[in-house]
Chain A
Amino acid sequence: DTEVTQTPKHLVMGMTNKKSLKCEQHMGHRAMYWYKQKAKKPPELMFVYSYEKLSINESVPSRFSPECPNSSLLNLHLHALQPEDSALYLCASSQETSSSGANVLTFGAGSRLTVL
């Protein structure tokens, strides 16, 4: 299995809703990432988990809350979002966070979020 699976593919939510994005990989990767991508822009790193521990939080607002229940799963809990948070949310995984090898990121297909 060489895939990263994200659900849901599309999500529409109001500013008072609570929802979650889910990500799963079975490649034995020990690093997992959340990225946010706006149209015609590169991906922006939000969070990095290494061996199930949060290693990087790129000053993301607290309305985004990551969770890594185990080495295969990564969630992003959403609460009280703003319309400007509408974007494509990409999950990715890699063997490790720091490696002398290629350590290629494998991305999921993304969850397209619309906040009304």
Chain B
Amino acid sequence: GQNIDQPTEMTATEGAIVQINCTYQTSGFNGLFWYQQHAGEAPTFLSYNVLDGLEEKGRFSSFLSRSKGYSYLLLKELQMKDSASYLCAVRDSNYQLIWGAGTKLIIKP
């Protein structure tokens, strides 16, 4: 079966750095996505990785290792507005998105 695992909840302090991990087992691989979703709102796209390595975009970075079936999202200089759920999703060999359950990130002052 297809499976994506990410922690249910994480807590971090404003101004700090947090790393949210995602491991996956899917039928094929055609890219990995990270989305941010604030409570009651739509998911918004953060990053896309299809090759191994680190993609940096401002305060957010995403890393991929295809051989390990592993990705992480790194958030730096945390702000209160970063409190949200972070969804990892993998596009499989049929170009279907398989979603993780999401990680709820709580930022404390």
Which residue numbers of A lie inside 8 Å of B, CB to CB? 40-43, 45, 56, 88, 90, 97-100, 102-110, 112
Contact = CB atoms under 8 A, between A and B. Distances in A.
Contacts of B50: 102
A104 B96 contact: no
Contacts, number: 44
Interface string B1-40: 0000000000000000000000000000011010000001
A90 B35 CA distance: 14
How many residues of B sit at the interface, in one of the four size bands? Answer: 20 to 34
Given A88-B40, A112-B40, A106 B99 contact: no
B97 A102 contact: no
B41 A110 contact: yes
Interface of B: 30-31, 33, 40-45, 48, 50, 87, 89, 91, 95-97, 99-102, 104
A41 B101 contact: yes
Contact of A97 (B33, B95, B102): B95
Nearest to A96: B95
A12 B10 CA distance: 34
Contact of A99 (B44, B95, B101, B102): B95
